[in-house]
Amino acid sequence: MSKRVADEKDEYVFFYVTMIQNDRNACMNRFMALDFETANRYPLSACALGIVVFEDGVEIFRKSWYLKPPSPYDAFDAANIRIHSITPSTVALAPSFNVIYPQILPYLKDTLLIAHNAEFDIGILKSLISYYHCEVPPLIYGCTVQLSRRAFEGLINYKLNTVSETLGFPLNHHDALSDALACANILLFTMMGMNEFNVLNCFNLLGVNLKQVL
C-alpha cells in the first residue's frame, strides 16, 4: 500500500506516497510540515522557512525561502550562524515574511500544522503573523517530537537528526526544507506503521495533544 520514492531533484530528500482511501469530507488528511531557522534568540529573527504540504499521503507543495528579519531583530548571532550557515549577506535581498505569506495562505485552510519541537516553530509563526497583521484561518498543530516519543520508544533522544537516522531518512540538518521534509516523513512513517491514515486519529491514538495556533 505504499512505496518509497526518491526525489531526483534533491539527493537528501525522499518521501512516502501512501494510498489512502479515507473520505476527504469526513476527516482532515492534509498537513503542512514547517521549519524555521532564526538569526538570534528572538522569534521575529526568522531568516529561513521551509514548508512541505501533503494531502492524502501525496506531496502537493514544497518550498523554502530565505527571509529578511525586521529591524531591530536582524542581528545575526555567531552561534546561530554556526548552526545553519545563514549570514546577513545571505538574506540581504531576501523578502520579508509578509511578502511570501500569500504563497502559504492557500495551504493553511483545513490543514494540520506539524513541526519537530513545535512550540519553537509555531511560536515563531505566531510572532510573525502578529507582527505583520497577517490574515490567518483557524489553525491547529501537533509536535513530531511528542509523536516520536510515543511511537518509537527507547531512542537515546528525540532530536530530528536522531529520529531521522533511526528511521532511515536522509537529512541535511538545519536546512529548513530538509528539516520540514524529515518532520513530514516522521508522521507518514508513523501513520503507515499504525495502519492509520487519518492524521488527526494518528495523534489522538498515540495520546498526543493537538493545540490551537491562535
The tens digit of pLDDT for each residue in 140-188 reads 999 999 999 999 999 999 999 999 999 999 899 999 999 999 999 999 9
> Which residues, 6+ apart, have CB-to-CB distance to 60 below 8 Å?
53, 54
Per the confidence metrics, is the pTM higher than 0.95? no
CA atoms of 28 and 129, how far apart (whole Å)? 23
Q: Say yes or no: domain 29-212 is CATH 2.40.40.20.
A: no
Residue 214 pLDDT: 80
Q: What is the pLDDT of residues 180-212, one digit of tens each?
A: 999 999 999 999 999 998 999 999 999 999 999
Q: For the chain, which residues make up each domain, given as ranges? A: 29-212
